[in-house]
């Protein structure tokens, strides 16, 4: 049993890897790159991770984890508590429902798919925030965040297959 | 082609989809309930926010310095091209400032003499805690960052936060070793200010735009572009007279916007000001005596403070 424990640990790590990497992406969005002062909002890295893992390994990223990571983002980002949990789950549900349609297509196709998920997520975040505060808000910070997220998507999409192969081998 | 298996599969797909969809819908509903709770009770999740900020502080303290170093390096590279012009500008400014220094020294001398004549009670000096910015704003509709100083360093809720240029915002929630700073442009930011030179009272309100707006200004007030805006201290939290910004826009519909002195893009270190309003000594004493006799064992400051 003692001999097997390090193997087990490795297995647990790779099983949890989609959740851990999504968590890391949420933290990454708060690292002070100096984006928020000049262009008003950093990319929503968490949403990129959720989209990619929902396509490749939805069994390792259950909705409960998406919910918890969303709540963490809410605590860290400020604003209405529950907003990003709601938006993440909406993006997750949408991706899950279109998964068979998106999977196995060429890169550009899934990129457009992610673009649509970003548009709907940003729209939701914008509307819920306006309802919460009861006032009109200029939408451009959400647009900037959405465009940045979509622009950085290829970078994350390129490294994900490597991890997917690794997980398939280890788990 | 359409055997029994494929029919079973076609039946299984919607069932499977529904079983996956149900928890998603359930968790989405819980999220919305949280949003409603947050709306009903604004500080319901404050403790959770402070706890999570404290927990993640070591992570951000590790991740931030290298990023800051790279930013600083590029900043310096670009600065080299500006050195000559900057030097000329500073020389010019220095000449002007020397004249101002002379004037200030004369004024200070006069002021101390007049204060001595009038027996003015001096306000207690403003203390400060310096902290490093370790996180950026995340959400598109929130203007906030985290500093690595908290209650253990003397930071308290609602303290004014300044950088080298002026007011940055205020402490929204002080954790043990980290605090969240609400910027002036945030939707929840309200700061009582004075518009110089006539000292019109107003409130600086953030609406997620770069320049916050001035509201609750008396209709008789005449405000022009370029007028300086300082804190008034009327909230009982911030020291009066902190530089905030300049009026940048006076709209035809009466909308007035203020360009803040602090641009927020190079605020690596900020200061949290602790400031206690001077209490009138003469009126205070009997109150305190009464308080001590009524509330047994409690500190007299709790009763008389507000």
What token pair was written down for B290?
């009464």
Per-window interface: B 18-77 vs A, CB < 8 A: 20-21, 23-25, 27-28, 30-35, 37-39, 44-45, 48-49, 52-53, 56, 59-60, 63-64, 67-68, 71
Class of residue B217 by CB neighbours under 10 A (exposed 0-12, middle 13-18, buried 19+)? middle
pLDDT band at A46 (very low <50, low <70, confident <90, very high): very high
Same domain, B27 and B141: no
Q: Does B264 lie in the same domain as B132?
A: yes
Q: Kindly state the helix (H) or strand (E) to which residue B225 belongs, with its residue range.
A: none
For residue B137, give both structure tokens.
Answer: 């704003």
163-222 in chain B: CB under 8 A from chain A? 172, 180, 187, 207-210
- The model's confidence at residue B2, banded by pLDDT at 50, 70 and 90, is very low
Q: Closest-CA residue in chain A for B24?
A: A63
Q: Are B205 and B190 in contact (CB under 8 A)?
A: yes
Whether pLDDT at B151 is above 60: yes
Q: How far is CA B44 from CA A80, B130, B294, in A?
A: 11, 28, 32
Query: Is residue A6, in this structure, part of any structural domain at all?
Result: no
Predicted interface score ipTM higher than 0.90: no
Q: What percent of chain B has pLDDT over 90?
A: 30
Q: Spell out the long-range contacts of A163-171 with Cβ–Cβ below 8 A and sequence spacing 24 or more.
A: A163/A17, A163/A21, A164/A56, A164/A57, A166/A14, A167/A14, A167/A15, A167/A17, A167/A18, A167/A57, A167/A60, A170/A10, A170/A11, A170/A14, A171/A11, A171/A14, A171/A15, A171/A60
Q: Which of residues 115-144 of A touch B (CB under 8 A)?
A: 122, 125-126, 128-129, 132-133, 135, 137-138, 141-142, 144
Q: Which of A23, A28, A34 to mutate to test the interface with B (most CBs of B within 10 A)?
A: A34
Of chain B, the percentage scoring pLDDT greater than 70 comes to 80
Mean pLDDT of A123-134: 94
Residue A32: inside a domain, yes or no? yes
Give me the residue from B32, B37, B180 closest to A86, CB to CB. B32
Task: Verify cis geometry, omega within 30 degrees of 0, for the bond prior to B89.
Answer: no
Lowest mean pLDDT among A37-46, A82-91, B117-126, B271-280: B117-126
The reply to whether B165 and B194 lie within a common domain is yes
Question: Is the domain of B29 the same as that of B14?
Answer: yes
Do B31 and B60 reside in the same domain of the chain? no
- According to the model, what pLDDT value does residue A65 have? 95
Q: Is the pLDDT of residue A70 over 50?
A: yes
CATH number of the domain that residue B228 is part of: 2.40.10.340
**Confidence band of B213 (pLDDT split at 50, 70, 90):** very high
Instruction: Kindly state whether residue B102 falls inside one of the protein's structural domains.
Output: no
Are B24 and B77 part of one and the same domain?
no
Q: What is the pLDDT of residue B296?
A: 43
Contact A83 B35 (CB under 8 A): yes
Q: Does A82 touch chain B (CB under 8 A)?
A: yes
Mean pLDDT computed over B11-27: 73
B273 within a domain of the structure (yes/no)? yes
Q: DSSP letter at B124?
A: P
Contacts of residue B275, Cβ cutoff 8 Å, sequence gap at least 6:
B124, B126, B127, B159, B160, B237, B238, B239
Min Cα separation A27/chain B (Å): 8
Is position B186 within any domain?
Answer: yes
Supply the range of the domain harboring residue B146. 48-81+123-277
Within-domain flag for B301: no
Q: Would you state the structure tokens that stand for residue B303, as one six-digit string?
A: 């009763």
- Kindly indicate the confidence band of residue A82, based on its pLDDT and cuts at 50, 70 and 90: very high
Instruction: Give residue B75's pLDDT.
Output: 76
CB spacing of A31 vs B24 below 8 angstroms: no
pTM for the predicted model, two decimal places: 0.80
Instruction: Read off the pLDDT of each residue in A13-29 and give the average, rounded to a whole number.
Output: 93
Q: In this structure, is residue A4 part of a structural domain?
A: no
Range of the domain at A136: 20-170
Q: Which residues make Cβ contacts (< 8 Å) with residue B7, sequence separation at least 6?
A: none
User: Among the listed ranges A66-75, A131-140, B10-19, B133-142, which one has the minimum average pLDDT value?
Assistant: B10-19
More confidently predicted of B12 and A92: A92
Examine residue B117 and state whether it is found in any structural domain, yes or no.
no
Mean pLDDT of B226-231: 92
Q: Is there a single domain that holds both residue B58 and residue B192?
A: yes
The answer to whether B67 contacts A142, with C-beta atoms less than 8 Å apart, is no
Give the whole-angstrom CA distance, residue B58 versus residue B219: 50
Q: Is residue B114 part of a domain?
A: no
Q: Residue B254 in contact with residue B280, Cβ under 8 Å? A: no
Provide the pLDDT for residue A60: 92
Residue listed under structure tokens 């997220």: A149
| A38-47, A115-124, B236-245, B283-292: range with highest mean pLDDT | A115-124
**Residue whose tokens read 């000292």:** B199
- How many domains does chain B contain in total? 2
Which residues on chain B are in Cβ contact (under 8 Å) with A84? 139
Residue B275's pLDDT is what? 76
B166 & B62 share domain: yes
Q: Assess if residue B20 is contained within a domain.
A: yes
**Residue A5 token pair:** 């424990």
More confident residue, B4 or B222: B222
Q: Read off the pLDDT of each residue in A93-110 and give the average, rounded to a whole number.
A: 89
Task: List A residues 37-76 in contact with B (Cβ-Cβ < 8 A).
Answer: 37-38, 40-42, 58, 62-64, 66-67, 70-76
Ranking B8-22, B62-76, B237-251, B281-295 by mean pLDDT, the lowest is B281-295
Mean pLDDT of A142-168: 92
pLDDT confidence of B267, banded at 50, 70, 90?
A: low
Q: Do B191 and B166 fall within a single domain?
A: yes
What pLDDT is recorded for position B306?
35
Give the model confidence (pLDDT) of B277-301 as tens digits. 655 555 444 444 444 444 444 444 4
My answer on whether B137 and B172 are in the same domain is yes
Task: Quote the number of domains for chain A.
Answer: 1
Same domain, B38 and B52: no
The pLDDT-based confidence of B252 (bands split at 50, 70, 90) is: confident
Q: How confident is the model at residue B272 (pLDDT cuts 50, 70, 90)?
A: very high
Query: Within a domain: residue B164?
Result: yes
B31 shares a domain with B162 = no
CB contact under 8 Å between A63 and B24, yes or no, is yes
- Give the C-alpha separation, A67 to B32, whole Å: 12
């Amino acid at each position: 049993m003692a001999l097997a424990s390090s193997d087990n640990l490795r297995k647990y790590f790779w099983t949890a890897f989609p959740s851990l990497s999504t968590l890391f992406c949420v933290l990454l969005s708060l690292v002070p790159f100096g984006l928020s002062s000049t262009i008003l909002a950093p990319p929503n890295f968490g949403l990129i991770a959720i989209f990619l893992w929902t396509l490749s390994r939805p069994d390792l990223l259950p909705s409960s984890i998406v919910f918890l990571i969303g709540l963490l983002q809410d605590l860290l980002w400020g604003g209405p508590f529950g907003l990003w949990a709601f938006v993440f789950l909406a993006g997750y549900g949408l991706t899950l429902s279109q998964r068979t349609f998106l999977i196995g297509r060429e890169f550009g196709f899934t990129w457009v798919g992610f673009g649509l998920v970003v548009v709907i997520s940003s729209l939701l975040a914008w509307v819920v925030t306006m309802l919460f505060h009861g006032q009109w808000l200029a939408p451009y910070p959400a647009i900037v965040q959405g465009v940045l997220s979509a622009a950085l998507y290829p970078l994350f999409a390129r490294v994900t297959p490597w991890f997917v192969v690794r997980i398939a081998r280890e788990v | 082609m359409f055997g029994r298996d494929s029919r079973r599969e076609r039946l299984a797909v919607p069932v499977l989809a529904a079983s996956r969809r149900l928890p998603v819908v359930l968790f989405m509903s819980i999220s919305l309930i949280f949003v409603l709770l947050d709306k009903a009770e604004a500080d319901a999740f404050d403790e959770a926010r402070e706890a999570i900020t404290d927990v993640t502080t070591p992570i951000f303290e590790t991740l931030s310095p290298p990023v800051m170093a790279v930013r600083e390096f590029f900043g310096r590279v670009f600065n080299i091209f500006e050195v000559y012009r900057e030097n000329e500008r500073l020389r010019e400014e220095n000449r002007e400032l020397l004249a101002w220094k002379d004037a200030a020294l004369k004024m200070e001398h006069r002021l101390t003499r007049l204060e001595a004549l009038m027996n003015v009670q001096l306000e207690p000096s403003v203390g400060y805690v310096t902290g490093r910015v370790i996180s950026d704003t995340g959400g598109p509709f929130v203007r906030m960052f985290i500093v690595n100083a908290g209650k253990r360093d003397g930071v308290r809720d609602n303290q004014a936060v300044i950088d080298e240029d002026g007011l940055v915002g205020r402490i929204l929630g002080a954790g043990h070793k980290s605090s969240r700073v609400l910027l002036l442009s945030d939707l929840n930011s309200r700061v009582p200010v004075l518009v110089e030179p006539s000292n019109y009272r107003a409130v600086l309100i953030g609406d997620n735009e770069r320049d916050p707006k001035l509201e609750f200004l008396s209709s008789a007030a005449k405000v022009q572009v370029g007028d300086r805006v300082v804190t008034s201290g009327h909230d009982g939290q911030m020291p009066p007279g902190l530089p905030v910004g300049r009026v940048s826009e006076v709209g035809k519909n009466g909308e007035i916007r203020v360009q803040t002195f602090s641009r927020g893009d190079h605020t690596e270190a900020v200061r949290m000001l602790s400031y206690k309003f001077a209490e009138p000594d003469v009126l205070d004493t009997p109150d305190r005596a009464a308080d001590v006799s009524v509330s047994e064992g409690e500190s007299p400051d709790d009763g008389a403070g507000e």
